[in-house]
Each structure stands twice: as C-alpha cells, then as structure tokens.
Amino acid sequence: MMTEVIITTDRTMMTNHHGKEFIGFMTTAPPIFMPEWLWMKISAPKMKVNEKGEPWQAPYGLRKIEAALLDAGIDAAVIDPDHLGKHIDEAKVIAIGHHDYFALGPPSSEWWVLTGKEPVNSKSFRKLMERPEIRRAKKNGAKIIVGGPAAWQWLYMPELIDKWGVDTVIDGEGEKVTVEIVKKALSGEELPKFIQVGAEDVPSLHQIPLIKKASVNGLVEISRGCPRRCRFCSVTLRPLRHYTLEMIERELEVNKRAGVEGCILHSDDVLLYGSDSVYPRPEPIIKLHELARKYFKSVGWSHFSLSAVKYAEENYKLMSRLSEMLLEDDDYVGVEVGIETGSPDLAEKIMPAKALPYSAREWPSVVIDAFSIMHELRIVPAATLITGIPEEKLEDVTKSLELVDELKPYRSLIVPMYFVPMGLLRDKNWYRAQPTQEQMDLMKACLRHDLFWIDDLARWYLRKANPLLRLSIRIFISLVKRAASRYLFI
Ligand code: SF4
C-alpha cells in the first residue's frame, strides 16, 4: 500500500464544503459566534476516503500535480491529512499545496485585520505541519515541497521554512517543474530552495496533465491565463491557453464516473473560452455548455468578467441563452466577478483593460449594466471590491461607495478585499494595520448590501442542504444581522 510521493494539504482545503463551494469562504475567517470546532464542521467537513486514505474528491490543483506525477511514472497519490500515518514511513516526498497558507491573502488578511483573530485556514495549516506524522517523515529523510497559488507567502516566513524543514518552494504553474524536482528528490539529489516558474517552464496546452481522480465539486479547468493584465493580478503573467473540448470531456468523465453530482467550469473568464482577445465568441461557449450538460444537470462557473457579460448579452444574447440552457424556472446560478473599484481614475491606473472592449472610464456603468443583465437572468454575482491598494486615493474610495449604493437593486454579494501593504507583511504584527475611516465605511456598505440580499440568497443556496447545516447557517445569519445593527449601525 506504500506511496512514495504523498500529495496533501490541511482540512480547510481537503473538503468539499458539503458540496457548496461558496461555504468555503468561511475557511478564510476566524470563527464568529460559535466555537472553532463547529465553524470547521460547517465550513470544512471531512470527506469519505478509500482504504488508502485517498479522499473521493480533492482540490483540483492537487489533482493536477498527482496526474503529472502519475503520467511521469511516479508512484503518487493525494492523501487526506487524517490518513497520512498509513504512508508516512515509506514516503520519500510530501508535496503540499494551498490557496492561503498563512492567511496573508485577501479576504483572510482582511478578516484578520478586522477581528484581530487568526483565520481558521492558517491555524489548520499550522496544525498539519506540526502533526507527528509529518515530523516523523521529516526525521526519516522525506523531502517537503510546497507550491500552489499562495507559494509566495513562504518568502515572508523564512523561519517556518527552517522550522518545518521545507526543502523547496515552487511558485507558479507547477506541473512540469514539480515532476523534475520530485525526480531529483527521489534520486537523492540536492534540491533548490525556491523556484519561480519562468515562461519556458509553464506547460504548453498539450503538456497540461488531465486529472485522473475526482476534483472538489466537479471543478474542471477550461482555460488558463487572462488577456486583461490588471496590475494587481498574477494570473496575467500566464500565457492564455484554452483546453480543447476533448480534454474537457475527459475530465468531466472522471468526475461523473466518481459520482460527483455537478460541475464547475473554471477559468479566469469563462466567457472568453475559445477567444484569443477580449471579445467573447458565442459558438465555442455554447458548445462547451452543451458538452457540460451532457454529463451534468448542474453546471456552474468560476469567474466571469463584467465587460464580457455586457458585451456577450448586448451583441449575441449569449447570457440569455446560457441562462435558458442551465436554469430551471425558480433557480439561480452563482459566479465570481471582479468589480475591484468604482473609480474610473483608479480603473485607468490599475486595470486599464478590464473594461475592454469598453473604455476604462466607462467602468462603473459597465458594472451596473452587467449586474442588471445578470439580475434579470437569475445569475448571482459574488463580486470582489478592492480597497487598500497603494494607488488608491480618498476620492477613489468615495466612488466605490457610490457604486455599491447603485448596485443595491441587483441580487448579488459584494465582498470587500482589504489589501494589506506587502511591505507590512514582514512584521509579525502586520494584522494590526488599521483601515482608514473611508475604507471602513466601504466595508460596511458592502456588508449592508449583502445583508439586504442574504435571506433571498440563503433560501435558494441552502434549499437542498441537510437540515442541520441549514439551521446552523440561518442562526449564524441572524446573529450577524443582530451584531451588524448593534455595533455597526447597519
Ligand atoms: S480580469 Fe481578473 S483574472 Fe484577468 S488580469 Fe484582471 S483581475 Fe486578473
């Protein structure tokens, strides 16, 4: 039963959040109004595993690394953190991935600043690294390799690299590079401490491995990269690649065979599938959705850009067609979108191409039009709004506040992302950095918006959830409402 290369992560990642992707947001916050064990039970329940300790679903990024290693003939498997003991004496490499190892990224860092309490994701990750099994493996000479979208955070934690014996940090698209490093580790060669994956090491389309076992909530990637090049976003450094429909179908089949009940089409902008510019193309998008529907009744999306929503509907009625294809009469479907700012000035500076094919100065009206289109079609945007970025001025925050007010009639959630200045992160008390009054006002305005829509959304989102989960979240929502009115005057 031994596995030479174990791929794992902590509980806040190794979970399917009861099949409700959005509940995963709770893992980025500290427990509020309930004990930590209950918070974890609601947001990060354990999943069933096989006799080897392999979870039946695993984060997509870990499945990609697993597939790359298996394709290279290396004995590797994703193992649930509670089952590491079964393999640890034989393991030669432990590969670990995470979205937010130390809660330094938004929205975790924002919760930390606002509450002064450490979010559960970084606590849970620390517990993983201090587990006796990991310590034992290290003593036995196993190498620890870490990567994933939060790999950059290790640069701020050099003492933990030493304390926990991390051998290599891989930052960037890791499929090709991880195989090389794991081969080196298995043959006892010296490993580099830090690797920044350069353009020449990024896998080309046909080098991207296809997952072999089920991903969390049926997520399958359809494209990588984004042509908009916003200044604060690392996605932009990756070349744009669209999977072929055959590649996507093979991953859909893997999830279907494993018994996953739906799929989430993942890309930095699903509406640009099959396009090599900022103009959505209806034909590939319709074919993609027909394919997904062939396998799953429930089809969701990860991200849309708001300008693509407006353009696709106004030119091709494409959003209406997608809504007809996917939604029953009283249903909604959610998707993440980025507003980031309500200020045309700031939009011009930090994301000049985000509004394309419209101009950056039109950005607030693009956002409103897209929200209005989605509201009519029962597509629910969960939008991010950034504050705290170095270029931001007081007037920019005011413009964002005005935009949040204008979005009130549209069914949506708006999540403010408070950017802690990178320079501060080296200080271990970084989370004491306080937002300005205007930034606090903006965060309150978002909370007010969300509380306005929350009952409508919770009714839909939780309608098929188990009764205990439904009850816990309802109680939680009423406590948040009460606290918001008592302490924040919302
Ligand atoms: S549109 Fe989104 S994914 Fe693309 S560069 Fe901007 S923030 Fe990144």
Asked whether residue 209 is domain-assigned, the answer is no
Q: Assess whether 344 and 197 both reside in one domain.
A: no
- Domain of 301, CATH number, reads 3.80.30.20
Q: Quick one: pLDDT at residue 489?
A: 63
Q: How many separate domains does the chain show?
A: 2
Cα radius of gyration (the chain): 22
> What number of residues does the chain have?
490
Residue 155 shares a structural domain with residue 227:
no
Residue 136 domain flag: yes
Q: For residue 211, tell me if it sits in a domain.
A: no
Q: Are residues 196 and 324 located together in one domain of the fold? A: no
In this structure, the answer to whether residues 237 and 316 fall within a common structural domain is yes
Q: What is the pLDDT of residue 165?
A: 95
Shortest CA distance to 220 belongs to which of 59, 68, 25, 11?
59
Helix boundaries (H) for 317-362: 318-326, 344-350
How far apart CA 130 and CA 10 sit, in angstroms, is 11
Dist. CA 383 → ligand 1 center (Å): 13
Q: Hey, which residues does 341 pair with through a beta bridge?
A: none
Q: Is residue 51 part of a domain?
A: yes
Ligand 1 pocket mutation pick from 221, 228, 311, 340 by most atoms within 8 angstroms of CB: 228
Those residues with Cβ within 8 angstroms of residue 441's Cβ, 6 or more apart along the chain or in another chain? 397, 401
Residue that terminates a domain, selected from 201, 233, 266? 201
User: pLDDT tens for residues 420-454?
Assistant: 766 666 677 776 777 888 988 998 899 899 999 98
Q: Are residues 222 and 160 in the same domain?
A: no
Lowest mean pLDDT among 131-145, 182-196, 333-347, 445-459: 445-459
Q: Tell me the C-alpha distance between 117 and 28, whole Å.
A: 11
Residues 448 and 372 in one domain: yes
Q: Which residue has the higher pLDDT, 431 or 363?
A: 363
Q: Do 434 and 399 reside in the same domain of the chain?
A: yes
* Closest-CA residue to 365 (of 378, 351, 350, 355): 355
User: Can you tell me the distance from the alpha carbon of 227 to that of 233, in angstroms, rounded to the nearest whole number?
Assistant: 11
Same domain assignment for residues 145 and 232: no
Q: Give the residue-averaged pLDDT of 237-259.
A: 94
Share of the chain above pLDDT 70, in %: 96
Q: Does residue 50 form part of some domain?
A: yes
Average pLDDT over residues 202-207: 91
Domain that holds residue 121: 5-201
Q: Is the CB–ligand 1 distance for residue 83 below 6 Å?
A: no
> β-strands 241-242, 223-224: how paired?
antiparallel
The residue whose C-alpha atom lies closest to atom 6 belonging to ligand 1 is 230
User: In sequence order, which ranges of 155-239 are alpha helices (DSSP H)?
Assistant: 158-164, 175-186
Answer whether residue 208 is part of any domain.
no
In the block, which residue shows the tokens 């897209």?
A: 370
Say if residue 153 is in the same domain as residue 62: yes
Q: Is 481 exposed, middle or buried (0-12, 13-18, 19+ CB in 10 A)?
A: middle
Residue 213 maps to a domain: no
338 lines ligand 1 (CB under 6 A): yes
For the chain, give the mean pLDDT: 91
5 with 74: CB under 8 angstroms? Answer: yes
173 lines ligand 1 (CB under 6 A): no
Same domain? 326 vs 399:
yes
Which of 172, 201, 230 is at the close of a domain?
A: 201
Whether 480 is in a domain gets the answer yes
The protein residue with its alpha carbon nearest to ligand 1, atom 8, reads: 233
User: How many Å apart are CA 303 and CA 362, to the nearest integer?
Assistant: 21
What pTM was computed for the model?
A: 0.92
pLDDT score for 331? 86
193 and 226 part of one domain:
no
Same domain for 340 and 389? yes
User: Residue 267 and residue 300: Cα distance in Å, rounded?
Assistant: 11
Domain boundary among 201, 230, 249: 201
Q: From the CB of 249, is ligand 1 less than 6 Å away?
A: no
Residue type, 286: I
C-alpha closest to that of 297 among 336, 330, 257, 325: 325
Report pLDDT digits (tens) over 12-42.
999 999 998 888 889 999 998 889 999 999 9
Burial (Cβ within 10 Å: 0-12, 13-18, ≥19) of residue 183: middle
* Per-residue pLDDT at 483 exceeds 70: yes
